[in-house]
Structure 1
Amino acid sequence: MGTDRLDEVLDAAYDCLTRYGVRRTTMDDIATTMGVSRSAVYQYVRNKDDAFRRLAARLHDRALVRARRSAADEDAPYAERVRGVLAAKLDLVLELDAASPHTAELIDTEARLFGTICGAFTRDLRRLLVDLFTEAGTAAGFEPSEAADIAIALAVGLESAPEPRRLLGPASDALLAGLLGAELPGRPAGLR
């Protein structure tokens, strides 16, 4: 299977999703958007549900790559690494929300087609955060797993806040100062 053509199918599925939503999109819509026959689309995906599942997986995988890159950046302070993991989650949500009201389904953990993909993504982010908090050490009274859950809850809370990208830095700084149990050097207010 040619990955370039599969990417074209997924790009077309995304375009249709933004216009019609999952339920109203047909295989004919995807084919028309690509400029090919419906049978040509079937060479790369089994059906519409398969196309949308693969699309959701691709979007989540790309965000996870960004999160892993941030977590692995040993030259960066822990706070910056944690913020990078949270930014990957927040950016995925905000990009999909901005594209269309229909795209929110791709990040809905309750959605029949995408719930397992969304759940696995959140578990992977949680593992990255647990590892970071284990490595950095957490304040007395916080287990690394609890710190990871709190950090994810912060990102989820910011998803519906006004100016969430702007708030991510100060909100995560304040949260991490408490979770890591120390001032974070390098910021005007003592946070890094």
Structure 2
Amino acid sequence: MPKAEVRNTDRADRILDAAAELMLRLGYRKVTIEDVARQAGIGKGTVYLHWRSKETLFRALLHRASIALTEQILERLETSPEEIRPHRFLRTAFVITMRDPILHAMLLRDTEVLGDLRDSLTGSLESVVNERYFALMAERGFLLDMPHLSYAVSASMLGHYLIDRFDPSVPSDLELRGEIVAHTVRASFEPAEGPDRATVVSTATEISTMLRDLLAHYRERIYSHDPTREHG
């Protein structure tokens, strides 16, 4: 990557860091481009060199949070195809999401944090990939053949994400809670004997390809207004 492009990418990330801090503190509705520029220590015009509006800036911020989640899941899959199994896959996603307040707000569609950005999450490419993952899990025997499977799994997982809002006795150790998620999914939704090794490997490869495509999509959306790309 040329040095100029590296500098612009680094500056874009600095702007996104500032936007993230402000959104979590004030909420999307109250943050202005002027606030972001001040927080990042740059001029307002510099922000507009990268993103043409407040909405495109903060959409890029959500994409960057999704990159962090996707990269970590992909890294685990590349280390072990067994990580594709739902109880392991969902455990990993749970722990990563709970550690990142922006990902957590996205998952819960938190209006206080996200404001109108909440609506942009519906029908996103990430949702399509998520649906494809669960379809493959059901088709290839990773999950039980049961009515309304997607709803059942989603309802169970949402409980794990929300429980600490209602029960102060929930363990603070996220790794422990992740293991509880894994046990719940395995005991409730997976067959006693899952797919063979060949199916595990081929499915992990297919999902990994989808995740890499998703990463490319996110990166393009984040840096699509990079000055280097627009003028070079």
Is structure 2 residue 178 aligned with structure 1 residue 168?
Answer: yes
CA contact (8 A) 1:129 1:148 kept: yes
CA contact (8 A) 1:67 1:84 kept: yes
Aligned match of 1:113 in 117, 125, 131?
117
Residues 39-48 or 16-25, more deviating: 16-25
Aligned twin of 2:156: 154
CA contact (8 A) 2:34 2:44 kept: yes
Distance in 2 (alpha carbons) for counterparts of 1:109 and 1:24 = 15
Aligned-pair CA distance for 1:155: 2.2
Aligned-pair CA distance for 1:95: 2.1
Secondary structure of the corresponding residue to residue 160 of structure 1 = helix
Aligned match of 1:130 in 127, 132, 135?
135
Q: Which runs of 5+ in 1 are unaligned?
A: 185-192
Q: Considering Cα pairs closer than 8 Å and 6+ residues apart, tell me whether 1 or 2 has the greater RCO.
A: 2
Q: CA 1:68/1:156 → structure 2, altered by over 3 Å: closer, same or farther? A: farther
Aligned twin of 1:36: 42
Which structure has more helix as a fraction of its residues?
2
Secondary structure of the corresponding residue to residue 52 of structure 2 = coil
Aligned match of 2:33 in 1, 4, 27?
27
Q: CA 1:86/1:136 → structure 2, altered by over 3 Å: closer, same or farther? A: same
Q: Which runs of 5+ in 2 are unaligned?
A: 164-169, 195-232
TM-score by length of 2: 0.60
Distance in 1 (alpha carbons) for counterparts of 2:142 and 2:93 = 22
Distance in 2 (alpha carbons) for counterparts of 1:169 and 1:94 = 15
Q: CA 1:6/1:147 → structure 2, altered by over 3 Å: closer, same or farther? A: same
Q: CA RMSD in A?
A: 3.3
Aligned-pair CA distance for 1:17: 1.4
Aligned twin of 2:221: none
Aligned twin of 1:58: 64
Task: Give the residue type in structure 2 aligned to 1:124.
Answer: V
How many aligned residue pairs are there?
176
Q: CA 1:154/1:91 → structure 2, altered by over 3 Å: closer, same or farther? A: farther
Task: Give the residue type in structure 2 aligned to 1:47.
Answer: S
Distance in 2 (alpha carbons) for counterparts of 1:78 and 1:66 = 13
Aligned twin of 1:142: 146
CA contact (8 A) 2:153 2:189 kept: no
Distance in 1 (alpha carbons) for counterparts of 2:132 and 2:76 = 13
Aligned-pair CA distance for 1:48: 1.8
Question: What percent of counterpart residues are identical?
Answer: 20
Secondary structure of the corresponding residue to residue 29 of structure 2 = coil
Aligned match of 1:17 in 23, 34, 47?
23
Task: Give the residue type in structure 1 aligned to 2:44.
Answer: R
Residues 53-62 or 113-122, more deviating: 113-122
Secondary structure of the corresponding residue to residue 181 of structure 1 = coil
Distance in 2 (alpha carbons) for counterparts of 1:90 and 1:148 = 20
Task: Give the residue type in structure 2 aligned to 1:116.
Answer: S
Q: CA 1:37/1:157 → structure 2, altered by over 3 Å: closer, same or farther? A: same
Distance in 2 (alpha carbons) for counterparts of 1:22 and 1:28 = 13
Distance in 2 (alpha carbons) for counterparts of 1:118 and 1:163 = 31
CA contact (8 A) 1:16 1:25 kept: yes
CA contact (8 A) 1:26 1:48 kept: yes
